[in-house]
Amino acid sequence: MSASKKPQQRRSLRSVLSRGHLGLALVAVTMASVSLTILGVVALKVYADHNLHLIGRSINYTVEAAVVFEDRAAATEALALIASTEAVADAKVFTADGELLAQWKRPETDLLSKVEMLLANSLLAQPITLPILHQGREVGTVTLSGHGANMLRFLLSGLLGILVCTILSAWSALFLSRRLLNGITVPLRQLAHVAHAARQERAFDQRVPEARIQELNNLGNDFNALLDELESWQTHLKNENETLAHQASHDSLTDLPNRAYFEARLARTLRKLKKADEKAAVLFLDSDRFKGINDTYGHAAGDAVLVAVASRIRAQLREEDLVARLGGDEFAILLTPLHKPEDAQRIADKIIASMLAPIDLPHQVQVVTSLSIGIAVYPEHGATPDSLLSAADTAMYQAKRQDRGGQHLAQDQSLAPPVPLRS
């Protein structure tokens, strides 16, 4: 197919059905009208022939005496008296010898008269001839030609009737078609609207309203049932995606964000702080006695301790602060906004104090643990996520060396002495 070829323009179902109904109605009316007109013409022709014979008999009785006495004036007067009032175009009276005794002819004064005569010559029978009898003996003949005035009036009235019937039928067809089409096209349009919304906008919560036509209502119900299933699947997939996203970014044991989530959040926060010229603090936390607890009481007890530690840390933070488990017994906290480094130290002290209470383990066992916390402030101790985490990690190592269960604020990177790596 050529790329320049325009797509075919399709008509709507409403226009197709409307034109079909209107065309069918007009064809039916036209055929009925033409048929009735033809039947009427045939009937009128039979009537006209019969009436012409009756007129001929009346003329016979009237001109009988005039023909017997060959009185031209009387015959002409009697002939004109009857023929002028009837549908007669031409009337002639002949004697028995074939001599024309009297004649009457309808005058052709205008175009209408000519049309009437043409119509009479075309549709009516040939001139009729009737004998004039006197005492059983033929004394003459009467020849009559019919006139088309009645026929023309009938045809004109028939055409007018056809026109009126056509107009009424067209209006009725349009009215009835509109009512019928509303029952078909409106439900289909509603179905198409809902289908479009479901396809384009993923709006599976919309439904097709009920229709008055049974088949269309069944179609709408089936489509609604399909939307119910799609909506259920969408909700299920959304929940699954949310669950997978949460599992990918959170620790399964403590339900805290993991390292990847924390580092991404830290990077975004530092970009915002750089534009706003504000401060933030990163706290690096490490348990001091976790290995001994884990070795003594088992991994289940170690997991219980980590859960308790995570809960206590979270309880000391503000709503906008972030705590994450980096791995093992290491945690990290992002404090933002931070007005001064003392605020970070104050929160670190609260966290350390929360660890003084014993942690209950199964079998009525209680253990006590502590945290060593290193604090790094942006931008004094690092301008990037890696440098800030490294500074907090180094400060935590210093706190662990100085006094387990304490805190230490990192030094300016330009003044800090080299620190050996932790094993």
Q: 1.10.10.10, 3.30.70.270, 3.40.50.261, 1.10.287.3610: which CATH number matches 259-409? A: 3.30.70.270
Q: What integer is the mean pLDDT of 109-116?
A: 59
DSSP assigned state of 253: T
More confident residue, 51 or 120: 51
Instruction: Give CA 378 to chain center in angstroms.
Output: 55
3-state secondary structure of 274: helix
Instruction: Give CA 290 to chain center in angstroms.
Output: 64
Domain ranges of the chain: 13-168, 204-249, 259-409
Q: Is-above-0.85 flag for pTM?
A: no
Check residue 196 and give its pLDDT: 86
Give ∠ CA 364-367-370 in degrees, rounded to 5. 160
- List the CATH code of the domain at 13-168: 3.30.450
pLDDT, tens digit, 9 for 90 and up, residues 143-189: 887 766 666 666 677 777 777 877 887 777 777 777 777 777 788 88
In the numeric block, the tokens 């008509």 are attached to 11
3-state secondary structure of 308: helix
Query: Which residue in 277, 329, 349, 360 is the catalytic one?
Result: 329
Interior/surface letters 294-316, b for 16+ CB within 10 angstroms, e for the rest: beebeeebbebbbebbbebbbeb
- Per the annotation, the verdict on 110 as an active-site residue is no
pLDDT, tens digit, 9 for 90 and up, residues 267-290: 999 999 888 888 999 999 999 888
pLDDT, tens digit, 9 for 90 and up, residues 52-94: 788 888 888 888 888 888 888 888 888 888 877 777 778 888 9
Are 13-168 and 259-409 the same fold in CATH? no
Interior/surface letters 118-140, b for 16+ CB within 10 angstroms, e for the rest: ebbeebbeeebebebeeeeeebb
Of residues 144, 143, 140, 142, the one with CA closest to residue 95: 140
Rounded Cα distance, 34 and 158, in Å: 9
Tell me how far apart the 2 most distant CA atoms of the chain are, in Å: 167
pLDDT, tens digit, 9 for 90 and up, residues 313-348: 999 998 999 999 999 999 999 998 888 889 999 999
Q: Across the chain, what does the average pLDDT equal?
A: 82
